[in-house]
Amino acid sequence: MTAKTPTRAKASAEQLAAYGSMLEIRLFEEELQRQFLKGEVHGTVHLYIGQEAVSVGVCSALRATDKVAATYRGHGAALAKGVGVEGLAAELLGRATGTCGGRAGSMNVIDPDVGLIGCFGIVGGSIAAATGAAMSVRREEGVAVAFFGDGATNQAYMHECLNFAQVLRLPVVFVCENNRYGEYTPMEQVTAGDLAGRVAGYGIPTEKVDGNDVEVVREAARQAVDHARSGQGPCFLECATYRHLGHSRSDPGAYRPAEEVEHWKALDPIPRLRERLDAAGFGEDAERVEGVQQARIAAAFEAALAAPYPDPEADEVRIFA
Amino acid sequence: MSTLEFREAIRQAIEEEMARDENVVLWGEDVAAAGGVFKATPGLLETFGADRVIDTPISELALTGGAFGAAVTGLRPVIEIMFGDFMPLAMDSIVNQAAKTWYLSNERQAAPIVVRSAVGAGGRFGAIHSQNPATWMWSVPGIKIVGPAFPHDARDLLVAAIQDDNPVVFLEHKRLYSIKHEQPDWEPARLGQANVVRQGDDVTVVSWLKGVHDALAAAERLAEHDVSAEVIDLRGLRPLDLDTIVTSVERTNRLLLVEEGPALGGWARGVLGAVSEHALDALDDAWVLATDEHPIPYTPPLEDAFLPGVERIVAAVLERAGIRA
């Protein structure tokens, strides 16, 4: 693809915004992991560390009114779409001040105010939800995005929805975050053919991009979103990326070769962008962003830790709307 | 007085709501151009156009998951799962997403979906085109489950279901599509409100869908034996109208629940349990007439014997009352 040449000022503003957004997620997840080890986060947790460029790049190409469906590894997409760090931290710590009042937890966060229609604990569920959301938002030239992992590409949801969306020319962008492992199993071991070929079989434009380069992701997402918004139907983006940690809390990720992990850590999207900012003379701005994000995340978790748990006596459930 | 056919009642309700609210959309397999395999949706495509009345691929995961995504973003989808037996394919979106999103969002994101589906046995459709999936979903809070027995109730309840802000599974019994009825003299049906369709003093017979018609026919026969049966149409399983049943058994003291499905895990035992909890002192007798513990057979003699029809209801009540037929 040929990216337009932005002005230096605009480029720096976009780069700094992306840097801040990726750092927000990284610092959030790192603090979350610390809180998890201290027993403040309950159940399980699926961390997004290493994949930040995907959701930040894609969401920076969206309007606030566009819709996003994410996965159980969804903290990154949630933050990138605009869910507040204070609410999300409190939610994951089970507090009453959480985005969902503590009812949802890590795998099920929903925030209709920012267009996050859900994080889906069922692999592939996000694909159908975004496809359906596109039925709604096409009335106002909106776009819906489904985030999902490589594992979901072997789910019937993906195949049914790609066909459905293309037949109806729905404005949905399918974003596959290919982190190479479906839980503990390497994708190539359980996958026939190749993904691009499958998607092309439905007549849907598809592109595989470096998912650890936020600027590449954003540019590809812009083109995909424009395509969808203009009424030409769905697009598919495969973002090659890597989770630095295991699948979930119980997984040290020992099935992955050390050299593979090192290879991908060297491609960490955050230092990569920082180097570009330094080279362009924005090192000081980047440092300022780091300070701001560190303070925000620290404050968010501090507030969450101080917040009360919901009171079971006072929790009046209206099970029907 | 003019009569209303059941399938026409379905069509009228959807037409009325689509005309009233442009956010109401209809999709499913063969619902548009063909007007539905049970001919419940003819003419809607012509009236409302292909943007709102859509023939989907045979893809229950996509069309139901899509309905969820559309519902939480402003549309009010009415979808059709052609046969209730196909519901397992749709159930992830119904039980894991639609039923929970209102609660999980801390009551900020509703999912107004109506999932229509043709259910029930007696048509020689065999084991996997004859089931009623209601009880598979009955254990999930957050889903309303509705099933009318009469055409006018069907229209009223479907209108109410479409206007409701929650996911509603709306079941249509295949053996009822062709029945025609005059306007009944009861109040318009509401979701979660059972209806006493025949008054009696000796025993309360509770069912829904086609079972109500069997119970009414049985009540006629029982009257010949001087047994006065009250018949209650549940009209749905959630919300469950326990009050109407309890009020009835406080008078009749006997309760028979007729279920077109197995007793174990069925709604009839569940309702019986709830009534027992609330009105044990009122009960002299209470029991369930359900189907045997095997799949629904195809061949007419086996299917007829399998179903809890009129004969079996009459025989069960007489035997229980110590009356020789």
CB–CB of A103 and B103 under 8 A? yes
Instruction: For residue B9, give how far its alpha carbon lies from the nearest alpha carbon of chain A (Å).
Output: 26
Q: Which residues pair with B115 in a beta bridge?
A: B79, B169
| Helices A8-37 + A283-306 axis angle, to 10 | 30
Helices (H), ranges, chain B: 6-20, 44-48, 60-71, 87-91, 99-104, 134-138, 151-163, 210-223, 242-252, 267-279, 300-306, 310-321
A45-70: average pLDDT: 97
| Helices A8-37 + A214-229 axis angle, to 10 | 110
Structure tokens at B194: 């059972």
Kindly identify which residue of chain B lies nearest to residue A66, measuring between CA atoms: B73
Instruction: For residue B57, give how far its alpha carbon lies from the nearest alpha carbon of chain A (Å).
Output: 7
pLDDT over 90 percentage in chain A: 91
- Chain A residue numbers with beta carbons less than 8 Å from the beta carbon of B92 are 122, 125
Mean pLDDT of chain B: 97
* B305-320: b (≥16 Cβ within 10 Å) or e: ebbbbbeebbebbbee
Placement of tokens 């539905």 in the chain: B36
CB–CB of A118 and B73 under 8 A? no
Strands B114-119 vs B76-83: parallel, antiparallel or unpaired: parallel
Report d(CA B156, CA B149) in Å as an integer.
12
Is residue A132 within a helix (H) or strand (E), and if so which, with residue range?
Answer: helix A125-137
Instruction: For residue A90, give how far its alpha carbon lies from the nearest alpha carbon of chain B (Å).
Output: 14
- Chain A residue numbers with beta carbons less than 8 Å from the beta carbon of B25 are 135
B141-165: average pLDDT: 98
Q: Is the pLDDT of residue A206 over 90?
A: yes
Strands B236-238 vs B144-146: parallel, antiparallel or unpaired: antiparallel
Q: Which of A177-186, B236-245, B286-295 has the lowest mean pLDDT?
A: A177-186
- Chain A residue numbers with beta carbons less than 8 Å from the beta carbon of B112 are 321
Query: pLDDT-derived band of residue A4, with 50, 70 and 90 as boundaries?
Result: low
B272-281: pLDDT as tens digits: 999 999 999 9
**What confidence score (pLDDT) does residue A1 get?**
45
Strands B229-233 vs B195-198: parallel, antiparallel or unpaired: antiparallel
A260-304: pLDDT as tens digits: 999 999 999 999 999 999 999 999 999 999 999 999 999 999 999
Point out the residue among B69, B103, B104 whose CB comes nearest to the CB of A128: B69
What residue segments make up the domains of chain A, in order of their start? 45-83+105-280
B216-239: average pLDDT: 98
Structure tokens at B285: 């007798």
Nearest CA-CA partner of B116 in B140, B152, B69, B148: B148
Q: How many inter-chain contacts (A to B, CB under 8 Å) are there?
A: 136
In eight-state DSSP terms, residue B18 is: H
> What CA–CA distances, in Å, run from B160 to B16, B27, B35, B208, B242?
11, 19, 22, 18, 20
CB–CB of A128 and B108 under 8 A? no
- Chain A residue numbers with beta carbons less than 8 Å from the beta carbon of B32 are none
Q: Which among A91, A155, A164 is the top mutation candidate for probing chain B, defined by the most B β-carbons within 10 Å of its own β-carbon? A: A164
* Cβ proximity of B240 and B192 under 8 Å: yes
Q: Which domains does chain B carry?
A: 3-182 (3.40.50.970), 195-321 (3.40.50.920)
Q: Is the pLDDT of residue B8 over 50?
A: yes
Helices (H), ranges, A168-243: 187-190, 195-201, 214-229
* Cα end-to-end distance, chain B, whole Å: 38
Contacts of A132 (CB under 8 A, 6+ apart): B65, B66, B67, B68, B69, B70, B71, B73, B77
Report d(CA A286, CA A275) in Å as an integer.
10
Point out the residue among A67, A121, A132 whose CB comes nearest to the CB of B67: A132
A contact set with B (CB within 8 A): 67, 69, 99-101, 103-104, 108, 110-113, 117-118, 120-122, 125, 127-137, 139, 144, 156-157, 160-161, 163-164, 167-168, 317-321
A241-252: pLDDT as tens digits: 999 998 887 888
Q: Which residues pair with B205 in a beta bridge?
A: B231, B256
| Helices A283-306 + A269-279 axis angle, to 10 | 140
Kindly identify which residue of chain B lies nearest to residue A310, measuring between CA atoms: B106
Report d(CA B272, CA B100) in Å as an integer.
27
CB–CB of A132 and B71 under 8 A? yes
CATH placement of domain A45-83+105-280:
3.40.50.970
Instruction: For residue A64, give how far its alpha carbon lies from the nearest alpha carbon of chain B (Å).
Output: 14
Contacts of B87 (CB under 8 A, 6+ apart): B81, B94, B115, B117, B133, B136, B137
Q: Is the pLDDT of residue A119 over 60?
A: yes
B183-202: pLDDT as tens digits: 999 999 999 999 999 999 99
| Helices A52-59 + A8-37 axis angle, to 10 | 130
Nearest CA-CA partner of A260 in A279, A282, A278, A244: A244
From the DSSP assignment, how many helices (H) and strands (E) are in chain B?
Answer: 12, 14
Instruction: For residue B32, give how far its alpha carbon lies from the nearest alpha carbon of chain A (Å).
Output: 14
Strands B3-5 vs B180-182: parallel, antiparallel or unpaired: antiparallel
Point out the residue among B62, B68, B165 whose CB comes nearest to the CB of A160: B62
Q: Which among B64, B94, B103, B113 is the top mutation candidate for probing chain A, defined by the most A β-carbons within 10 Å of its own β-carbon? A: B103
* Cβ proximity of B219 and B229 under 8 Å: yes
Placement of tokens 């159930």 in the chain: B91
Point out the residue among B54, B73, B104 whose CB comes nearest to the CB of A108: B104
Is residue A12 within a helix (H) or strand (E), and if so which, with residue range?
Answer: helix A8-37
Instruction: List strand residue ranges (DSSP E) for chain A, in order.
Output: 67-71, 116-120, 144-149, 172-178, 181-182, 185-186, 206-210, 235-240
Report d(CA A145, CA A152) in Å as an integer.
15
Please count the other Cβ atoms lying within 10 Å of the Cβ belonging to residue A270. Answer: 22
Report d(CA B200, CA B230) in Å as an integer.
4
B158-188: pLDDT as tens digits: 999 999 999 999 999 999 999 999 999 999 9
Cβ-based burial of A190 (10 A; exposed 0-12, middle 13-18, buried ≥19) = exposed
Q: Which among B58, B104, B191, B240 is the top mutation candidate for probing chain A, defined by the most A β-carbons within 10 Å of its own β-carbon? A: B104
A191-205: average pLDDT: 95
pLDDT over 90 percentage in chain B: 98
Query: pLDDT-derived band of residue B301, with 50, 70 and 90 as boundaries?
Result: very high
At residue B164's C-alpha, the angle toward residues B236 and A124, to 5°, is 90
Residues of B with catalytic function: 129
In the chain, the amino acid numbered B183 is: Q
B85-99: average pLDDT: 98
Structure tokens at B73: 């973003």
Q: Is the pLDDT of residue A2 over 60?
A: no
* B2-11: b (≥16 Cβ within 10 Å) or e: eebbbbbbbb
**What confidence score (pLDDT) does residue A5 get?**
56
CB–CB of B106 and A167 under 8 A? no
pLDDT over 70 percentage in chain B: 99
Q: Which residues pair with B304 in a beta bridge?
A: none
Report d(CA A209, CA A256) in Å as an integer.
22
Structure tokens at A15: 């780069």
A123-140: average pLDDT: 97
Q: Is the pLDDT of residue B321 over 90?
A: no
- Chain A residue numbers with beta carbons less than 8 Å from the beta carbon of B96 are 121-122, 125
A59-85: pLDDT as tens digits: 999 999 999 999 999 999 999 999 999
Percentage helix, strand, coil, to 5, in chain A? 50, 10, 35
In the chain, the amino acid numbered A4 is: K
Instruction: For residue B15, give how far its alpha carbon lies from the nearest alpha carbon of chain A (Å).
Output: 20
- Chain B residue numbers with beta carbons less than 8 Å from the beta carbon of A108 are 100, 104
A115-133: average pLDDT: 97
Cβ-based burial of A279 (10 A; exposed 0-12, middle 13-18, buried ≥19) = exposed
Query: pLDDT-derived band of residue B84, with 50, 70 and 90 as boundaries?
Result: very high
> What CA–CA distances, in Å, run from B274 to B58, B240, B245?
39, 10, 10
In the chain, the amino acid numbered A216 is: V
